[in-house]
Chain A
Amino acid sequence: GAGVSQSPSNKVTEKGKDVELRCDPISGHTALYWYRQSLGQGLEFLIYFQGNSAPDKSGLPSDRFSAERTGGSVSTLTIQRTQQEDSAVYLCASSLALDRVSYGYTFGSGTRLTVV
């Protein structure tokens, strides 16, 4: 596609429920990132996928968070047993792996998650 697509754009869920957030990166971008933006905070790195390499999961805040990327394209971020502190905007970005400095990262519009 022309840009990074994320769905849903908004999600309200009850505390304790599981949620799945989806990211469709730009076609051909082998690098995919998930970030979280809490109110009044800078973006926080969650996880990074690069091709077929093992993902860098070092930013995931707890074992309730997991992500996968199927076929090197679409990625799903899953949050189990959601807590109120999980409320944030979850942003996905993709990049041409070979030259991230020149081409930069393209962000999606995010999924606003609200846990009530």
Chain B
Amino acid sequence: KNQVEQSPQSLIILEGKNCTLQCNYTVSPFSNLRWYKQDTGRGPVSLTIMTFSENTKSNGRYTATLDADTKQSSLHITASQLSDSASYICVVGGFGNEKLTFGTGTRLTIIP
């Protein structure tokens, strides 16, 4: 069964600090991995998209890494801001099908 597991479930950090969110997946065959940010009451917004040949992708203060061999990804947030408070969802796309597999997300709270 295709699964995406994220850790930690929730995280609280001080403004200005860095943090790393983890994602492990068992989706096969694998096509791509995406990180989304979802603010409360809003739909998910794409941060990064990586295919199996990409190891890292950055979007401003967000840097995602992918190890397709170990089926792990991480999202690193640098110099966190209060606006980074949101749920971060790891999503894996299977090759040849359209059904994305979603993780349950990491709830990140940035405190001043």
User: Which residues of A does B touch, CB under 8 Å?
Assistant: 4, 31, 33, 35, 40-45, 48, 50, 56, 58-59, 91, 93, 100-102, 104-110
Contact = CB atoms under 8 A, between A and B. Distances in A.
Nearest to B49: A104
B103 A93 contact: no
Contact of B49 (A31, A35, A102): A102
A102 B48 CA distance: 10
Interface of B: 4, 31-32, 34, 36, 41-46, 49, 51, 89, 91, 93, 98-105
A30 to B, nearest CB: 12
Nearest to A9: B41
A48 B99 CA distance: 8
Nearest to B51: A101
A108 B44 CA distance: 8
10 cross-chain pairs, A with B, having the tightest CB-CB distances, nearest first = A107-B43, A42-B102, A43-B102, A42-B104, A45-B99, A104-B46, A48-B98, A109-B43, A107-B44, A108-B43
